[in-house]
């Protein structure tokens, strides 16, 4: 009888652990999903930094940089133009005298997240997404 009670107790403990792990994964998401979320947050942060660097370049030179190479030649500017996962450069295209586009490939749809970055401007779907921007003067 004691052995049966011990087996029931062990089964109850194992079931509790299994339910807790499954509940935690459902609540927090899988490690893969968390990694994707963090990579997408990093992409947004890097694209925001690139946009700030373009603003600075535009203020200083009165024109948009032709490429990331132009930005990298500026000593005061340090940006990472490479995707954190693939190590491929983000896409940067000059569209006109005062407009350009930054593009990245995102793993997740930001609308499915609990928060949307920076008031929604940097909100993105999954896959390749582009953001049309205009440079802003930076106070020196």
Tens-binned pLDDT, residue by residue, of the chain (140 aa): 456 678 877 777 777 877 776 766 566 567 888 899 899 999 999 999 999 999 999 999 999 999 999 998 988 888 889 999 999 999 999 999 999 999 999 999 887 765 555 557 888 889 999 999 999 988 76
DSSP letters along the chain, please?
-HHHHHHHHHHHHHHHHHHHHHHHHHHH--HHHHHHHHHHHHHHHHHHHHHHHHHHHHHHHSS--SSHHHHHT-TT-----B-TTT-PBPEEEEEETTEEEEEEEESS-GGGSSS-GGGGTT---SEEEEEEE-------
The two three-digit tokens of residue 130, written as one number: 């582009």
pTM equals 0.76
Delimit the domains of the chain by residue range. 32-133
Q: Can you give the pLDDT at residue 2?
A: 59
CA 3, 9, 10, 11 dihedral sign is positive
Q: Can you give the pLDDT at residue 102?
A: 97
Q: Can you give the pLDDT at residue 7?
A: 83
Q: Can you give the pLDDT at residue 129?
A: 94
């Amino acid at each position: 009888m004691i052995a049966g009670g011990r087996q029931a107790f062990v089964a109850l403990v194992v079931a509790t652990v299994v339910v807790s792990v499954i509940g935690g994964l459902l609540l927090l998401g899988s490690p893969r999903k968390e990694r994707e979320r963090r990579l997408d947050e990093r992409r947004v942060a890097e694209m925001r930094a690139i946009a700030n660097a373009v603003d600075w370049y535009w203020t200083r030179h009165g024109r948009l940089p032709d490429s990331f190479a132009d930005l990298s030649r500026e000593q005061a500017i340090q940006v990472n133009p490479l995707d954190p996962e693939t190590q491929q450069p983000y896409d940067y295209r000059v569209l006109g005298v005062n407009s350009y586009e930054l593009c990245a490939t995102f793993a997740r749809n930001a609308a499915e997240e609990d928060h949307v970055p920076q008031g929604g401007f940097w909100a993105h779907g999954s896959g390749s997404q582009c953001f049309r921007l205009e440079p802003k003067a930076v106070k020196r």
